[in-house]
Amino acid sequence: MTTNQSSGPIFVVGIWRSGTSLLYTLLNQHPQIALTYEGDLFLLRSLFHAGDPKSDWLERWEFWNNALTRHQIDALQLPALMPDYPTAATAVWKQYAKGSLYGDKSPNYFNSMPALAREFPGARFIVIWRDLTDTCRSIAQAGQGSAFFAKRGITHRALIGYRKMKRDCDTLVRKGVPLHQIHYEEMVQSPELVMQGLSWFLQIPFDPRMASLDGADRSAIYEAPQHDGVKSEKIGVKPKDDTMLPAELRSKIARYIAFWKKQSNGVWPLYPVTAGVAQPPGLLERLQDEVYFQGLRAFDRFTAFVYCYAPIAILRRYRGAKTRPGISAGETPALSQAAHRD
């Protein structure tokens, strides 16, 4: 097989703390793949509003999540004015990839995949799933050392977003958009088998380095405690700490899993294999959870809007005033807490 360089970007998507960083690192072990790590320029696409693109889009994007610095992108080689988001993103990806397959990995695309497919008709999507209880447990644990994962409503975003991501996947399948889905549990147990499947999906020869973290480049990944695992040399699962997950949240997750299993005749989600005996959530609970989720996502969109349009000098002063001791390198406080990460 030969590399198909004209197929458009590759998007790696999954809920936060579901293994997207590990998957990204393994994919980039292949010499023909060079994806960016949570570039997330899509979240700032208002910078390229039709007829009025912002000339300081590079400065604002860098301020948002240090994407240019993390990927060593030469801003001088990029035009100050871009006609639209796809043109800008593609230019950045291609500069970083240097002829390899390009694209972006981000958990923030979990309910934006159809929109991305419209922006990039040749896009391919790789989605990773993980047992939702384990995902939320990992989020709660990460919240001990991360301002982002400690913020209000992050596990609720993950819970309701889990089903949103499934609906996005179903939409892509109906529209014939190339989509490959894997599971974290299988990736850590049989990385070679899973990565061979991904090589087939991407139509490139399998490279054994894709099944190992040895010598992997993690330079674009934020320095933060939750990334210790992916920055090690061994693929594995950390011991579970059930004390990290509040009983109320654990019960809610179990109810939703039971509900989704019932809806799909036991087919989805794949993990956990059984739904247990939890009572599915009632209509009122589901409506309340949906309203709360939409409110959280509206706040996320507002945050991105502010970063696109507020005077950047004011944003810098605001961030400086909110910065406090104890925030890890790479963490961004206050307004930018909605920006990232896995």
Does residue 89 fall inside a structural domain?
Answer: yes
Does residue 3 fall inside a structural domain?
Answer: no
Does residue 336 fall inside a structural domain?
Answer: no
Query: Whole-model pTM above 0.75?
Result: yes
* Model pLDDT, residue 338: 41
* Model pLDDT, residue 140: 93
Does residue 2 fall inside a structural domain?
Answer: no
- 36-37 and 10-13: which strand pairing? unpaired
CATH number, domain containing residue 237:
3.40.50.300
From first CA to last CA, the distance across the chain in angstroms is 32
Tokens read off for 217: 């480049």
Does residue 93 fall inside a structural domain?
Answer: yes
Instruction: Give the type of residue at 155.
Output: T
Query: Helix, strand or coil for residue 104?
Result: strand
Does residue 208 fall inside a structural domain?
Answer: yes
Instruction: Give CA separation, 243 vs 3, 137, 219, in Å.
Output: 46, 9, 32
Does residue 335 fall inside a structural domain?
Answer: no
* Model pLDDT, residue 276: 79
Does residue 142 fall inside a structural domain?
Answer: yes
Instruction: Give CA separation, 237 vs 129, 159, 185, 334, in Å.
Output: 15, 21, 9, 31
Q: Which structural domain range is residue 164 located in?
A: 10-328
pLDDT-wise least confident of 96-110, 181-195, 217-231, 321-335: 321-335
> Residues near 230 by Cβ (< 8 Å), separated by ≥ 6?
21, 22, 25, 213, 218, 221
Are the C-beta atoms of residues 240 and 134 closer than 8 Å to each other?
yes
Per-residue pLDDT of 235-275, as tens digits, reads 877 777 777 899 999 999 999 999 999 999 999 999 998 87
Per-residue pLDDT of 132-146, as tens digits, reads 999 999 999 998 888
What ranges in 264-341 are assigned the alpha helix state H?
283-309, 312-322
Count of other CB atoms within 10 angstroms of residue 225: 14
Are the C-beta atoms of residues 336 and 298 closer than 8 Å to each other?
no
User: Looking at the 3D structure of the chain, how many domains does it have?
Assistant: 1
